[in-house]
Amino acid sequence: MPHPRSAFDDPSERVVPDGMTIRRMRRQRGWSRRDLVDAIARASRRASGRDDTLSPSLLRAIEEENETVGYEVVVLISTGLDCNPVELLGPEAPPPEELH
């Protein structure tokens, strides 16, 4: 029996990250948004040899407005914060298939 589709099956699937959790985790490390963007680039470079990251303005939109993004963005943020991407998805976030 096939399993239901989820963001884990398609990294471009749109999800709503928990901006408050991301901000809290960033601040616990004493980091600015730029510090987190730099940490994401370093973690990406270690993992893949590429400097994948996101802009501070997108990070602000995620933290302050719970901006809907592709799951791959949540994965990038989780690499910078060294956590599981699922920790960055809010409990109130609708299932990805409802965000289309």
**What are the pLDDT digits (tens) for 43-88?**
999 988 888 889 999 999 999 998 999 999 999 999 999 999 999 9
**What are the pLDDT digits (tens) for 35-44?**
999 999 999 9
**Tokens 């901000």 found at:** 23
CB 59 within 8 A of CB 36: yes
pLDDT at 92: 55
Tokens of 80: 């910078």
DSSP 86: G
Q: Within a domain: residue 6?
A: no
Q: Within a domain: residue 87?
A: yes
Q: Within a domain: residue 2?
A: no
Q: Within a domain: residue 83?
A: yes
Boundaries of domain holding 31: 14-99
The predicted model scores a pTM of: 0.78
Residue 14 has φ and ψ, to the nearest 5°, of: -80, 135
CA–CA gap between residue 38 and residue 76 (Å, rounded): 11
Over residues 9-15, the mean pLDDT reads 71
Over residues 20-44, the mean pLDDT reads 96
Q: Within a domain: residue 8?
A: no
Give the residue, 99 or 90, on which the prediction is more confident.
90
Q: Within a domain: residue 77?
A: yes
Q: Within a domain: residue 4?
A: no
One-letter identity of residue 24:
R
DSSP 69: E
User: What's the CATH number where 92 sits?
Assistant: 1.10.260.40
DSSP 7: T
- Could you give the number of structural domains in the chain? 1
